[in-house]
Structure 1
Amino acid sequence: MIKISMITILHNFSYFYEPCIPIMRERGTISLARTLRLQAQDSGTSTDCLLIIAFLMNEADSKKLMKIADDELSYLISELEKSMLRAGASDYHPEEIIDGLNRIAVSDINKLKLIECGVLKLLSKSLNPVKSHTTVHRAAAAKAIWNLAFSEESREEIKAQKGLISALKSFKDSENKELRLAVSGALWQLEGKEKHLEEISVDVKEAEQKHIMLSYNHQAKTEVNKMKDLLKQRGFKVWIDHEQITAGGSTLEAMSTAIEDSCLVLIFFSEPYKNSINCRAEAEYVFERRKPFIPVQVQAGYTPEGWLGILFGSKFRYTLCKPDKYKTEVEGLLGKVKELASSQAQPVAAKDVPDGIIPASTTLPATTSPQLPSPSLPPLECESWSWQQTSEWLDDNKLGPIKDSLEDADGTMLAELAMLSYQHKDVFYTLICSKTGADLGCILRFSKALKKLT
């Protein structure tokens, strides 16, 4: 009984109190949950343990999880199916299990694995307007679909799921704000951002003075508000969601318009930011629109990973997490903002600066060691490939948008891109994004495939 109570407490902490997650992870709670799950004698305890793992895992943990835990995923999905049959059939409400699966799906490598285990059929049933599911249950399902839709392969699977798109659209104008936002986000990813913007009548206006947009997770609100006040004191026009989004307004419409009308975006990053699908939608839209941005760290000890790490590349990052250097960092950040905001009006040597990339400060902080030359790679096997072999390699890795832009490319060109990806990630990502029109998911797959060549 004591063991079961302890597991329940651990689950509640991981589910309801995100700030404790790094501490629990550091204390080995994932390993403990796995051990306890093997000793569990009832389905409720076993599900508790798996949900603890789901909420504590990060990008590195998920890679290990997926090598050994197909049965764990299948178990959670079977519990979800059981919970949807009737009240009391499971110890959990459907939305609680969906929330756990949704956290697992934050890592892009897990998205297709969940679909292969049958999650789409259940999410589709959750959104069936004929069924009498609760609004909270439907909102969780729509949010999960939105999360899954960040992967190109998953988007195709979702579109192929009979009746799912029409079910989403049936709740597009729901009176429930959470459900309406999740449905709107899912459709944003599934039907293409441009098309969806037209549907919700986004009117991008020419602003006399372009603003600086602040992109953040709500847990960093206090620190972000301080920065907002400092920017305003220095005469900058600032856009922040809680001041500009009116009650009843479309969050996606406001977000997209804010990005379009910005001269610069400050991304206040943390692990909760990386795990938030709302924040990912913002950050990817900034990237796709080639908007200049500055990463600002607001969680001590956190290193960007997964999609966020790829998006940042080797970009210079400011930190607001070191009390002894706080003033210096803030002054440096404000100076960089002034420099970049001014350059938007009269760009200097724009031909030398790729769109969307902000050059790091030419002066390294005193605590930073000088950068060593980038390591070189040995000759790559792909250098000898013909254009046909290169084309087949692109097909095998499902890189259609990349292939369309690399017509007649041979192994030599592919090797050059692999070298660029290895030595100059920020330039590589900007080049591929600007020249191919591929979405971030496709670019991530291309980068991963190139790593295998090296």
Structure 2
Amino acid sequence: MGANHHKISCIADELVRWIRDDYLQIIHVHSRTIGLWSKELLACMTQLIAFAVVLWCPIGQNKVLINALFVAEQSIYDHIEDLMRIIDYKPFHKEMKPVRSNDETSIIDAALMILMVIVRTQNVSWFFRSNVSIQNALTTLAEAALYDEICLHIYGILSEVLSDEQFKNLKIADSMGGFFFNMLEQAWQHPLKKYKHSQIEHLLRGFFNLSKHDFIQQETANMKKISLFIEMSEQYPIVYDIIWALSFNHDIQQQLRSNPSFIQKLSQLAKESDDEQVRKTTHGILWNLEIDHQDRSISQSTKQNTFDIMISYSHKEKVLCKQLYDELTKSGYRVWIDFDQMHGN
């Protein structure tokens, strides 16, 4: 299995390098003449960007392959601007459908997926934060979109790149929580665990991107939705990551503490889960609730698994946090920093 995965990665790497220049050049040239596109050219451009999605999105966390696409730093920003010309083309907005049933909807959806890969793997937050026109274009599209997947992509992109202050000041900020909770609740009640064409796992990953923001945490607390996540945690381990992020909020902490059976479950998972990531996240939740400080019986190896400091951070600051970690450990502090699952606020 490992050998096959390596072979596929090698083939993908060769393919990326083979089509890279042509792909970037075609998008760059034709995005500037989008008003002249025929229906046939629109179909071809849609297929090209959709092919790029198939090639890069499943391996979007592999920075080696993404870096193979962008040999120069400037090419990253150029490609973002090229994609934004397509995404922000108003005649396409008028033709958008509630499902991906025409080229206009499909090309916008595919271009947003490429943008999502870029913001998750490249250090481009400053570019989005300093470019108000891009923020406004994405916000306007989210307001107009009939296709929920487009909104999901936009919320995911903006939550990755904007500061908490910028994010909560967006025109669409007030509707984000309700948007996700409505979809999650309907998907949870659906026999196939999906909302329209979106699987619940996809929706949970989308909400996880939002959960690091303070105002989303507070909205979750105000709407008393933590019980929904507690219920879903039995089937979907990513929910523990969401609850961990939410548990930085004081009101969420109070709501969690009022559920002793869930606290007991967390304590048990922190000791006994076979999933290392679940052990880490449940331990993180208990740490935020100060349960782990009060009950040293969580693990027989408490001295090994108890820490003076926990650092939670975003993947874009990994190098800085590693330096901080090294300095603190040199000074004798016991520091827990999760280099495998990088997130936080």
Alignment of 1:424-443 (within 5 A): none
Q: Secondary structure at the match of 1:24?
A: helix
Aligned 8 A contact 2:247 2:288 in 1: yes
Aligned 8 A contact 1:30 1:56 in 2: no
Structure 1, unpaired ranges of 5+: 205-212, 229-238, 242-257, 281-454
Paired with 1:178 and 1:33, the residues of 2 have a C-alpha distance of: 33
Give, as a single letter, the amino acid of the residue that structure 2 aligns with 1:73.
Answer: G
Q: TM-score, normalised by structure 1?
A: 0.42
* Per-residue Cα deviation, 1:386-441 (whole angstroms, up to 9, x for no partner): xxxxxxxxxxxxxxxxxxxxxxxxxxxxxxxxxxxxxxxxxxxxxxxxxxxxxxxx
Residue 120 of structure 1 pairs with residue 226 of structure 2: yes
Paired with 1:264 and 1:37, the residues of 2 have a C-alpha distance of: 45
| CA spacing shift, 1:240–1:10, aligned 2, 3 Å | same
Give, as a single letter, the amino acid of the residue that structure 1 aligns with 2:287.
Answer: W
The aligned residue for residue 20 of structure 1 is 124
Residue 81 of structure 1 pairs with residue 185 of structure 2: yes
Q: Secondary structure at the match of 2:177?
A: helix
* Per-residue Cα deviation, 1:95-129 (whole angstroms, up to 9, x for no partner): 4433443343323343221222343122111223x
Alignment of 1:250-261 (within 5 A): none
**Structure 1 residue corresponding to 2:244, chosen from 115, 139, 146:** 146
Paired with 2:233 and 2:142, the residues of 1 have a C-alpha distance of: 31
1:171 is displaced (CA, Å) by: 2.9
1:68 is displaced (CA, Å) by: 5.7
| CA spacing shift, 1:13–1:122, aligned 2, 3 Å | farther
The aligned residue for residue 343 of structure 2 is 276
* Per-residue Cα deviation, 1:292-322 (whole angstroms, up to 9, x for no partner): xxxxxxxxxxxxxxxxxxxxxxxxxxxxxxx
The aligned residue for residue 289 of structure 2 is 190
**Structure 2 residue corresponding to 1:72, chosen from 176, 182, 187:** 176
| CA spacing shift, 1:95–1:25, aligned 2, 3 Å | farther
| CA spacing shift, 1:104–1:223, aligned 2, 3 Å | closer
Paired with 1:189 and 1:47, the residues of 2 have a C-alpha distance of: 29
Residue 37 of structure 1 pairs with residue 142 of structure 2: yes
Paired with 1:10 and 1:196, the residues of 2 have a C-alpha distance of: 45
The aligned residue for residue 279 of structure 2 is 180
The aligned residue for residue 413 of structure 1 is none
Residue 50 of structure 1 pairs with residue 155 of structure 2: yes
Q: Secondary structure at the match of 2:181?
A: helix
The aligned residue for residue 202 of structure 1 is 302
> RMSD in angstroms over aligned alpha carbons?
4.0
The aligned residue for residue 262 of structure 1 is 331
1:215 is displaced (CA, Å) by: 9.8
Aligned 8 A contact 1:8 1:48 in 2: yes
Aligned 8 A contact 1:146 1:185 in 2: yes
* Per-residue Cα deviation, 1:155-191 (whole angstroms, up to 9, x for no partner): 0022225743244345332111111211111122224
Aligned 8 A contact 2:158 2:167 in 1: no
Q: Percent same amino acid among aligned pairs?
A: 18
Q: Secondary structure at the match of 1:203?
A: helix
Aligned length: 227
Aligned 8 A contact 1:121 1:161 in 2: no
Aligned 8 A contact 2:156 2:210 in 1: no
Aligned 8 A contact 1:127 1:167 in 2: no
Paired with 1:264 and 1:180, the residues of 2 have a C-alpha distance of: 21
| CA spacing shift, 1:151–1:46, aligned 2, 3 Å | closer
Alignment of 1:185-334 (within 5 A): 185-197=284-296, 199-200=298-299, 201-203=301-303, 240=326, 262-263=331-332, 276-277=343-344
Q: TM-score, normalised by structure 2?
A: 0.53
Residue 165 of structure 1 pairs with residue 263 of structure 2: yes
* Per-residue Cα deviation, 1:58-78 (whole angstroms, up to 9, x for no partner): 12213414x863322101122
| CA spacing shift, 1:216–1:161, aligned 2, 3 Å | closer
* Per-residue Cα deviation, 1:323-351 (whole angstroms, up to 9, x for no partner): xxxxxxxxxxxxxxxxxxxxxxxxxxxxx
Aligned 8 A contact 1:188 1:196 in 2: no
Paired with 1:71 and 1:112, the residues of 2 have a C-alpha distance of: 14
| CA spacing shift, 1:18–1:87, aligned 2, 3 Å | farther
Paired with 2:259 and 2:321, the residues of 1 have a C-alpha distance of: 40
The structure whose Rg is larger is 1
